[in-house]
Amino acid sequence: MLTCGIVGLPLSGKTTLFSLLTGYTPPEGKPSAIAMADVPDVRVDILSAMYQPRKTVYGQIQITDLAGLSEGTGKSAAFLNSIRPAQALIHVIRAFEGDYPHPLGSIDPLRDFNIVNHELLLADMALVETRLDRIASASKVKGPDKEQLPVLEKCLNHLLEEKPMSQLQLTEEERQLLQGLVFFTDKPQLLVVNLAEEDLGTNPPWLSALKTVSSEKGWRILTLSAKIEMEISQLNPEEQTVFMAELNISEPGTALVAREAYSLLGLIAFFTVGTDEVRAWALKHGDTAVEAARTIHSDLARGFIRADVMSYEDLNQLGSEIAVKEKGLAHLVGKDYVVKDGDIVHIRFNV
């Protein structure tokens, strides 16, 4: 399952985005909250209309919302630990004036971006230092601890130079030694810039700077207005279409967030279909049919025989599985078949 943690300065719109994505509004004052979000996918909607299943399941992302990080708290912010295991960070950056003043008194997205990343770096530094302290306080340093020592020092020196862990070259052996230590500065980020409503569709000068840093790091960035998203979410589908057309936006920003999180992590979607259930599953780009089987259930991987595969595109175009088969576009594939985004997969197995 894909897991994301939301980070950002206080009052940037994190909880608003979290509620929009998950449909769950946490009680005020809680330092963290966790809920699932659907990954909207029109292909699932169309397959569902085709099969009329009892159950339709979209791709899922587990999202953790956090209280805002303030400058200088990174080292001590224990609540950050609730997102240590997350695969990616959704970093919300405030670019709207709003009713509550910005905690730093002005709107400066690039500054805020740097502050949050610096706090994450401090939190990583604290992690390494704690580990080093623990080793130092042991009466006798031995075994695995002793082996870990040099690589921990390497990490600390790197972080002291204000460099993220993602930029540290480590050998496979060093990585092994660090197992169990999870770094914030090693996680990819999806930057969500929370624009003022009137700035939607514009390109403020600081935005290009943010886009540049983001693409240098291989991260993703998108802009939305959480306030507008709230308004969209309260309309019925027809009203939504009209409202979004007026604003010149093609789909809700929340749909984009979920999709971008997928591609940030190099994930694709494959589908299983039937009258019982139509379901989207996430898979790493480049993974094979047997990995797809494992995603569904470990028994399917263990007893994997072959998989029937057709593409969503073909099925949608031709209208039925029979038509796809008649055209010779359905394939029986083995374990090593590389699953493509949009594949409809049926696993044949025997356990």
Strand ordering across the sheet containing 343-349: 55-57, 277-284, 267-272, 343-349, 304-311, 331-333
253 near ligand GTP, judged by CB under 6 A? no
Region from 152-160, 224-232, 244-252, 278-286 binding ligand GTP, contact rule CB under 6 A: 224-232
25 near ligand GTP, judged by CB under 6 A? no
The DSSP code sequence of 259-291 is HHHHHHTTEEEEEE--SSEEEEEEEETT-BHHH
Of 282, 65, 85, which is closest to residue 181 (Cα–Cα)?
Answer: 85
Among 2, 4, 7, 12, binds ligand GTP (CB under 6 A): 12
Residue 306, binding choice from Mg ion, ligand GTP, none, Cβ under 5 to 8 Å by partner class = none
First CA to last CA distance, the chain: 24
102 near ligand GTP, judged by CB under 6 A? no
100 near ligand GTP, judged by CB under 6 A? yes
5 near ligand GTP, judged by CB under 6 A? no
Please list every residue from 49 through 68 that binds ligand GTP, using CB under 6 A: 67-68
8 near ligand GTP, judged by CB under 6 A? yes
- Nearest to ligand GTP of 13, 59 (CB atom): 13
**Which ranges of the chain does DSSP label H, i.e. alpha helix?**
14-22, 42-51, 109-137, 143-160, 172-177, 205-216, 226-233, 237-246, 253-264, 289-296, 298-302, 312-318, 321-326
Alpha carbons within 13 angstroms on the beta-carbon side of residue 43 total 23
- Nearest to Mg ion of 6, 47 (CB atom): 6
Shortest Å distance, C-beta 252 to Mg ion: 20
117 near ligand GTP, judged by CB under 6 A? no
Q: Which residues bind ligand GTP (CB under 6 A)?
A: 8, 10-16, 67-68, 96, 98, 100, 194, 225-227
